[in-house]
Amino acid sequence: MSAYPLKAWQFVGCILAVFLFLPHPSQAQEPSQPAYAAYQAGVAALSRNDFNTALQEFEKVVRLSPSLEQGHSALGTVLVRTGRTSEGIRELQKALAMNPNDGSTQLNLALAYDQTGQFAKALPLFAKLEAVSRTGKHPLPATVVAAYARSLAATQQLSAAIARMKEAVAEDPHNAELQDDLGSLYAEHEDWPNAKQAFTTALQANPDLATAHLHLGMTLWAQQQPGALEELTKAYQLAPENARIALQLGQALASNGNDEQAIPLLQHALELDPKSTPAAYQLGLALQRTGKANDAIPLLQKAAEADAANAEVLINLGLALCQVQRAKEAVPVLQRAVSLAPGNITAHQDLAAAYVQLNQLDDAVSQLRAALKLSPNAPQLHYNLGLAFKMQDNATDAIPELAAAEKLDSSAPEPPYALGLLYLQAGHYADAAQELNTSLKLQPENGEAWATLGSVYNHLDKLPEAAAALQEAIRRLPQQPDPHLTLAAVLAKQNQPAEATAERKIAADLMRANMNRQRAEVASNSGDSLLKSGKLEDAIVEFRNALSYDPDYPRAHLGLANALQQQGNNIEAAAERQKAETLAKSPVLPDHH
């Protein structure tokens, strides 16, 4: 489950209505003639959607007749309509204080409260309007009833909200937006069949309503029914600049295992809404899963800063930091996760991994023991605890844990391999051979295990078996000298001195080649650093040094190519780049024969 479940059930909503009436002669205070003229001019401006002029005229009304309720009401409504919501609400409140029974002011203030998320303040006004409309048998407009339903839903009065929204739909049954709003309420109630029906009806009325495709896709996804991705994709095609739709489609693709497809969508969602914590978090997770932990960390940090009490976010951030060897930073993050969610096994396990990176093995053991109390039969936890003990050279405690891991999951090759190494170190060669054979049956490509088994058989004087295991190790690890050295010892015991000498020579050649490769790597690192610093000539010297150690090191050829190109020597640069590409495709191995 995501730390940010995206319940994007949002209403399409209604545009703020403007209900303005000219002052009635029977009012307590007659407006002055200039105020009356300004009021008429403001109404005329509104009729042609000239909000700037209307605003100026209604400001005149309020200035000329400050106690005239209609002036404050009209000014407040236009202020809200032009985006100056706080100022508009203050004017509407003044108007309502002057005349608490003015229906147009009640309505415009209720809609303004609804628009700004002040739902608790909107509800009493909507209730008064509803009561008056029922008494007078004049139903409220469908869009107003929908706004009332939205306020009820926002205050967790879902049943009442659904009832009001059904009334709105009944008044305007072909309104796709209202059907979509009704479906959203059903979805909040997790009444999926009715939600699906409402969204389907909305799309029958308007097949191009992107929000209805979004909501139908989410409903199908929640029920794990087919067609969810198709609906979300359709929504995105219709409204590619809608951040919520891009985010929802990206998360759905990621949940379906398609991180590579999800990442561009999530990036687009974040570009559209840079402050979106869910978009940052979902993108961070997708990048982390695709091996881009360095790119994921800033996004996960953003999510953690926005929701510091969310253990899941902290766990993923801590894991990403560990993945890039930043365990010192990961520890406090994961400690916080453990304190927030002491029953979360992953939090303990990841904190243990961070402690292992820092060589704080006692702390790692403590966390793994805490996790095992929560899940005593988890084979991975027993295995990890066994490894921690092994790293402490504590075979006495390591062996039972690894044996428990092997018993709980007989399909895993790692526990018997680790046990085989421990038994070898303890001189229990028969037990070591048994465990290594068990591991190799499960993972025959493990060249190190074949080499270790060959060494164990050598100790047991099972020389043919030792030779066979070592030859398999050599096949799996053609550049490792150690299996050749052990095989040389076995061949010497078998009275095959010429063959033993040949194996020692191969081992010596490999050791020399490995040493030269290491020297080439060091020189290439130096060349890269010099190149970044702009020291071109020095960088070229280092890359040529690297190639003198190992002429077949692709990275040195590539570094030299980059340096030569910056120097303007494009011909030689192209030749070096070609060598690098050829060697990278077909790495050259030392000739031992």
Q: Name the segment(s) of the chain with CATH classification 1.25.40.10.
A: 18-140, 523-585
**245 or 143, higher pLDDT:** 245
Q: Is the pLDDT of residue 264 over 70?
A: yes
Check: CB of residue 180 under 8 Å from CB of residue 202: yes
pLDDT at 28: 43
Our CA angle for 28, 102, 140, nearest 5°, is 155
pLDDT at 276: 95
CATH class of the domain at 18-140 = mainly alpha
Distance CA 552, CA 462 (A): 39
- State in Å, rounded, how far the first CA of the chain is from the last one: 57
Q: What are phi and psi of 568, to 5 degrees?
A: 95, 5
| Residues 420-444, mean pLDDT to the nearest whole number | 97
pTM for the whole thing?
0.73
Distance CA 145, CA 353 (A): 56
% of the chain beyond a pLDDT of 90: 83
Distance CA 464, CA 441 (A): 19
> Domain 523-585, what architecture?
Alpha Horseshoe (1.25)
Distance CA 436, CA 510 (A): 26
Distance CA 18, CA 108 (A): 7
Distance of CA 588 to the CA centre of its chain: 41
Distance CA 500, CA 506 (A): 10
pLDDT at 4: 40
Those residues whose C-beta lies under 8 Å from the C-beta of residue 486, and which sit 6 or more positions away, are 451, 454, 455, 458, 466, 470
* One-letter amino acid of 553: Y
Q: Tens digits of per-residue pLDDT, 548-581? A: 999 999 999 999 999 999 988 889 889 899 999 8
Q: Is the pLDDT of residue 25 over 50?
A: no
pLDDT at 137: 84
Q: Which tokens in the block code for residue 130? A: 């509803």
What band does 45 get if pLDDT is binned at 50, 70 and 90? very high
H-state helical runs in 85-154: 85-98, 103-115, 119-135, 142-154
pLDDT at 14: 40
Burial of 101 (0-12, 13-18, 19+ CB in 10 A): exposed
pLDDT at 31: 65
Distance CA 291, CA 297 (A): 12
Tokens 């190790």 correspond to 473
Instruction: Say which range, 276-280, 296-300, 421-425, 562-566, has the weakest mean pLDDT.
Output: 562-566
pLDDT at 143: 87
Give the mean pLDDT of the chain: 91
Instruction: State whether the Cα torsion 344-347-348-353 is positive or negative.
Output: positive
Please report which helix (H) or strand (E) contains residue 20, including its range.
none
Q: Is the pLDDT of residue 23 over 60?
A: no
Q: Tens digits of per-residue pLDDT, 300-312? A: 999 999 999 999 9
pLDDT at 590: 43
Distance CA 355, CA 442 (A): 30
Q: Tens digits of per-residue pLDDT, 179-213? A: 999 999 999 989 999 999 999 999 999 999 999 99
Check: CB of residue 220 under 8 Å from CB of residue 233: no
pLDDT at 530: 94
What band does 19 get if pLDDT is binned at 50, 70 and 90? very low
**404 or 135, higher pLDDT:** 404
Those residues whose C-beta lies under 8 Å from the C-beta of residue 573, and which sit 6 or more positions away, are 560, 561, 562, 564, 565
Q: Tens digits of per-residue pLDDT, 513-526? A: 899 999 999 999 99
Q: Is the pLDDT of residue 593 over 70?
A: no
pLDDT at 111: 92
Check: CB of residue 567 under 8 Å from CB of residue 543: no
Q: Which tokens in the block code for residue 16? A: 């703020």
Distance CA 137, CA 7 (A): 37
| Residues 39-65, mean pLDDT to the nearest whole number | 92
Q: Which tokens in the block code for residue 103? A: 């229906």
pLDDT at 3: 46
Check: CB of residue 481 under 8 Å from CB of residue 512: no
pLDDT at 8: 47
pLDDT at 135: 87
pLDDT at 312: 96
Q: Which tokens in the block code for residue 531? A: 């190149």
